[in-house]
Amino acid sequence: MSISSGLIQVALPVPLYRLFDYRASFPLPAIGCRVKVPFGPQLLVGVVTAHPETSDLPESKLKPITEILDQTPLFDKTLWHLLRWAADYYLHPEGEVLHHALPILLRQGEAALSKPIPYWCLTEDGESAESLLKRAPKQQLAIRLLADGPLPAAELREQGVDSPVLKNLEQKGFILPYDIRAQLQNWHEQFLLHEDDAHYLNEEQAAALSTIKFAENARPFLLEGVTGSGKTEIYLQLIQDVLSKGRQVLLLVPEIGLTPQLLRRFRRRFHAPILTLHSAMNDRERLDTWLACKNGEAAVLIGTRSAVFTPFKSLGLIIVDEEHDTSLKQQEGFRYHGRDLAIMRARQEQIPIILGSATPSFESLHNALTGRFHHLTLKKRAGNAQTASQHVLDVKHVPLNAGISPQLLQLMEQELRNGNQVMLFLNRRGYAPALLCHDCGWVASCPHCDAYYTWHQSDNRLHCHHCDHIRAVPHTCPECHSHQLVSAGVGTEQLGAFLQQHFPAYKTIRIDRDNTRRKGELEQHLSAIRQNEYQILIGTQMLAKGHHFPDVTLVGILDVDAALYSTDFRATERLAQLYVQVAGRAGRASKPGRVILQTHHPENALLQDLVNNGYHHFARTSLQERKALSLPPYSYQAVLKADAIHRDFVSQFMEQAATICSGYGAPDLSVIGPITPLMEKRAGRFRMIILLQCNSRKHLQHYLHQLIPAINQITTHHSLRWHLDVDPVDIM
Ligand code: ADP
Ligand code: ZN
Ligand code: ZN
């Protein structure tokens, strides 16, 4: 090698478990800087991971880099460690992990230089404009949102207010672009509080707060507090403490779209830049937010799971709200758990981390009960709201109409007549989960999946909920040509249609993925509900997340049995979480709510425990059961999943993989499978899994690091895809 050049090792975004050596001239780009390098016929953006002394490649094969993109590293030391640790722990190619952690523009080679983040604020005229805009609901919404102070354009977009609306308001002189730069640059010196909103903490809250503030060791805190017990108030007071020291805060939430009230509360409390990362942002806005955190300009960052990879100049606290929510786990590509990485990051940064939930995950609860986490509980509601009363309704031998029992209909009628709202949960979109032939029993199923089509009445088509395939409804049975095609089962559409007809005096609204696709649509529905435009609310799980419905006094959960008898051992945990979340969000002090669970199995022990003794007790009973069965959190799992266009390709690969795993001879490793999932074929691909389970996390990690390189050597058909999911939340 020439005197003027040296070696660098580079991580590239390719699905290979290795790093690549290149030549670069002195001074070498620092570790953690991006470089552009030739890779086959293309140029790729990679990250420098080391300055090795020697290379396995002969000198003639070492290519020079094309360009150095950063003068200083993009990652600080702890984040760098976290990412490399995560690549190792999840056994995911390091280049892809580093790539994943960067905003898209940086992945594409854009300079790491910030531009001003677009913000809007009201003008003096704008402050009284709301009533002038009666005929322009979007404009009116914008004015209402901005009444609390300036907002980023991206957040307005998230709520359904896009740039034509803003331009229009600007022309009318109601709003102005707002320059956030001054606030970004000075907040630590002039950190201000809008004190009036802060509450005096009650005893439980005060005790929790001081435990967190004065804790001597670095264990994470699990803050288990019923909905409305004042967890968020504790967060706010802790954040205040951290900000007043000039340090930054990261708050992870399941979904930003569902938290506008939370954001409003934060902005009202702190006169400091509170930035968000969410799906409505464009690439430029993401990069600028990322840089503002890195440069110490953002005081608080609120974001979904990937926000855990944001660099901070001086991070002082991490909070994971709704820590039980499975959306914190990435389910494709680099399959990490946002909560678990947050815990690791806090440990490396030596800063406190709070995991908050009314219904902690069994994993976190187990950690708290065994002393690995500090356990803080809030049992009382902070305001004066009451918890809903809870009932199991036996529907055995009872005629159901669209899945509803006559008793529940009667209760609904009472509440509706008293001017209250009613909310029903059914975790099935569409009109009916199957269309079948009454004469021969033929069922319309998706040609690409082992699944029935769901019949949607809104567009009168058959939808596959597993591959999104859509087709017309056949006029006759393709088997026997009968015209007697009938639907079976009940989805939210059918439930809605039935209730609309049964209660013509009241208005029904559905909240599910089908009618909340567009930006701002969910928020519009919710605000209409709060204004009592609808009295009957029907939803899937998504209706339960993060919203408070004070006028809802009756909640019905209709498909409890599916969860009780699911093959997924986590199904009852999820049902209990849904149940507690909705029980906590309905009703208010003057109007206590009631929750009804409809079931064919009222005697089910878990159900009885949940209803009679509450989540806390239910969770402990369930943990005993998991322990007896050696299921997580008493064991650790990783699942190897493979799929291909032919069954044989998958089974050949999986047989070999299973032989490697079993042949390894680890006495404490259970190798379960290859198993064919109930839905073997999905989106035209045949699937199989192997479940690996071990009572020691350390041992499992050790085995995986031996097994995966060997599995990686198996020659496969080119259509075969496989991946490993460590700590899976969904095995099938
Ligand atoms: P959580 O996050 O646990 O659901 P919040 O912090 O949102 O609870 O509190 C629920 C409600 O009670 C909010 O309206 C909040 O303003 C109010 N609240 C919280 N703490 C207190 C307190 N110490 N005194 C009076 N009201 C409080
Ligand atoms: Zn037929
Ligand atoms: Zn399908």
* Residue from 259, 266, 216, 222 nearest 240 by CA: 266
Q: Look at the block and give the residue holding tokens 């956030």.
A: 180
Using DSSP, state whether 194 is helix, strand or coil: coil
pLDDT digits (tens, 9 = 90+) for 96-113: 999 999 999 999 999 999
CA of 230 to the centre of ligand 1 (A): 4
Q: What is the spatial distance between Cα 258 and Cα 280, in angstroms, rounded to a whole number?
A: 13
Ranges of beta strands (E only) in 396-518 are 421-425, 434-437, 454-456, 461-463, 470-472, 485-488, 508-511
CA of 477 to the centre of ligand 2 (A): 5
Question: DSSP per residue over 126-161, as a string?
Answer: GGG-GGGGTT-HHHHHHHHHHTTS-EEHHHHHHTT-
Q: Which amino acid is at 399?
A: P
The answer to whether 304 touches 252, Cβ cutoff 8 Å, is: yes
pLDDT, position 447: 94
User: Is there a cis peptide before residue 27, judged by omega within 30 degrees of 0?
Assistant: yes
Distance of CA 107 to the CA centre of its chain: 23
CA of 730 to the centre of ligand 3 (A): 19
CA of 445 to the centre of ligand 3 (A): 8
Q: What is the spatial distance between Cα 251 and Cα 559, in angstroms, rounded to a whole number?
A: 33
User: Which secondary structure element, helix H or strand E, spans residue 46, and what is its range?
Assistant: strand 42-50
Q: Look at the block and give the residue holding tokens 């995911």.
A: 92
Q: Whose CA is nearest to atom 17 of ligand 1?
A: 383
For a mutational test of ligand 1's pocket, the pick from 196, 201, 232, i.e. the residue with the most ligand atoms closer than 8 A to its C-beta, is 232
CA of 250 to the centre of ligand 3 (A): 39
Q: Mean pLDDT in each 10-residue stretch from start to end of the chain (732 residues)?
A: 81 94 94 96 96 90 95 94 97 96 96 92 87 83 88 87 91 92 80 69 92 87 90 94 94 78 85 87 94 95 95 96 94 95 96 96 96 92 72 92 94 94 92 94 94 92 93 94 93 94 95 78 83 91 76 90 87 90 74 88 91 91 94 97 96 96 91 92 96 96 96 92 95 82
Q: Measuring CA to CA, how many Å separate 559 from each of 389, 427, 679?
A: 19, 7, 21
Q: Whose CA is nearest to atom 10 of ligand 1?
A: 228
Q: Buried b / exposed e across 100-116, counting CB within 10 Å, b at 16+? A: bbbbebbbeebebebee
Q: Does CATH number 3.40.228.10 belong to domain 389-428+490-625?
A: no
Q: Is 457 in the pocket of ligand 1 (CB under 6 A)?
A: no
Go through the chain and tell me how many residues it has.
732
One fold for 5-107 and 636-726:
no
Count the Cβ atoms, other than its own, within 10 Å of residue 523: 19
Q: At what angle do helices 362-369 and 605-628 cross, to 10 degrees?
A: 60
The answer to whether 494 touches 402, Cβ cutoff 8 Å, is: yes
CA of 614 to the centre of ligand 1 (A): 21
CA of 455 to the centre of ligand 2 (A): 17
Q: Whose CA is nearest to atom 9 of ligand 1?
A: 230
**691: DSSP letter:** E
The answer to whether 426 touches 540, Cβ cutoff 8 Å, is: yes
Q: Is 237 in the pocket of ligand 1 (CB under 6 A)?
A: no
Locate the ligand 1 atom nearest the alpha carbon of residue 358 and give its number: 3
pLDDT, position 384: 62
pLDDT, position 539: 87
The answer to whether 11 touches 49, Cβ cutoff 8 Å, is: yes
pLDDT, position 200: 83
Q: What is the spatial distance between Cα 283 and Cα 274, in angstroms, rounded to a whole number?
A: 19
For a mutational test of ligand 1's pocket, the pick from 233, 355, 549, i.e. the residue with the most ligand atoms closer than 8 A to its C-beta, is 233
Pick the CATH number of 5-107 from 1.20.1260.10, 3.40.50.300, 3.40.1440.60, 3.90.550.10: 3.40.1440.60
Q: Look at the block and give the residue holding tokens 């044989």.
A: 648
Q: Is 689 in the pocket of ligand 1 (CB under 6 A)?
A: no
Using DSSP, state whether 109 is helix, strand or coil: coil
pLDDT, position 385: 61
Rounded to two decimals, the pTM is: 0.93
Strands 221-225 and 353-357: parallel
Q: What are phi and psi of 669, to 5 degrees?
A: -105, 120
Locate the ligand 1 atom nearest the alpha carbon of residue 233 and give its number: 6
Q: What is the spatial distance between Cα 608 and Cα 585, in angstroms, rounded to a whole number?
A: 21
Query: Exposed, middle or buried by CB within 10 Å (0-12, 13-18, 19+), for 31?
Result: middle
Joined together, the tokens standing for residue 669 give 């490793």
Q: Measuring CA to CA, how many Å separate 432 from each of 222, 429, 444, 489, 540?
A: 41, 8, 12, 5, 14
Q: Is 199 in the pocket of ligand 1 (CB under 6 A)?
A: yes
Beta bridge partners of 528: none
* Residue from 42, 317, 352, 364 nearest 222 by CA: 364
Q: Which residues contact 633 (CB under 8 A, 6 or more apart)?
A: 362, 363, 366, 367, 623, 626
Q: Is 233 in the pocket of ligand 1 (CB under 6 A)?
A: yes
CA of 441 to the centre of ligand 2 (A): 6
Q: Is 584 in the pocket of ligand 1 (CB under 6 A)?
A: no
Delimit the domains of the chain by residue range.
5-107, 119-179, 186-378, 389-428+490-625, 636-726
Q: What is the spatial distance between Cα 231 and Cα 358, in angstroms, rounded to a whole number?
A: 9
Q: Which residues contact 445 (CB under 8 A, 6 or more apart)?
A: 451, 452, 453
CA of 451 to the centre of ligand 3 (A): 7
CA of 691 to the centre of ligand 3 (A): 25
Q: What is the spatial distance between Cα 495 and Cα 487, in angstroms, rounded to a whole number?
A: 13
Q: Is 232 in the pocket of ligand 1 (CB under 6 A)?
A: yes
Sign of the torsion formed by the C-alpha atoms of 457, 458, 460 and 465: negative
Pick the CATH number of 636-726 from 3.30.70.1350, 3.30.70.600, 3.20.20.210, 3.40.220.10: 3.30.70.600
Q: Is 377 in the pocket of ligand 1 (CB under 6 A)?
A: no
pLDDT, position 131: 79
Q: What are phi and psi of 466, to 5 degrees?
A: -105, -25
Distance of CA 350 to the CA centre of its chain: 25
Locate the ligand 1 atom nearest the alpha carbon of residue 227 and give its number: 4
Q: Is 78 in the pocket of ligand 1 (CB under 6 A)?
A: no
Pick the CATH number of 186-378 from 3.40.50.300, 3.40.50.10790, 3.30.70.260, 3.40.50.10860: 3.40.50.300
Indicate which ligand has the atom closest to the C-alpha of 437: 2
The answer to whether 708 touches 91, Cβ cutoff 8 Å, is: yes
pLDDT digits (tens, 9 = 90+) for 555-570: 999 988 888 888 889 9
Q: Measuring CA to CA, how many Å separate 606 from each of 367, 390, 601?
A: 22, 14, 11
Q: Whose CA is nearest to atom 20 of ligand 1?
A: 230
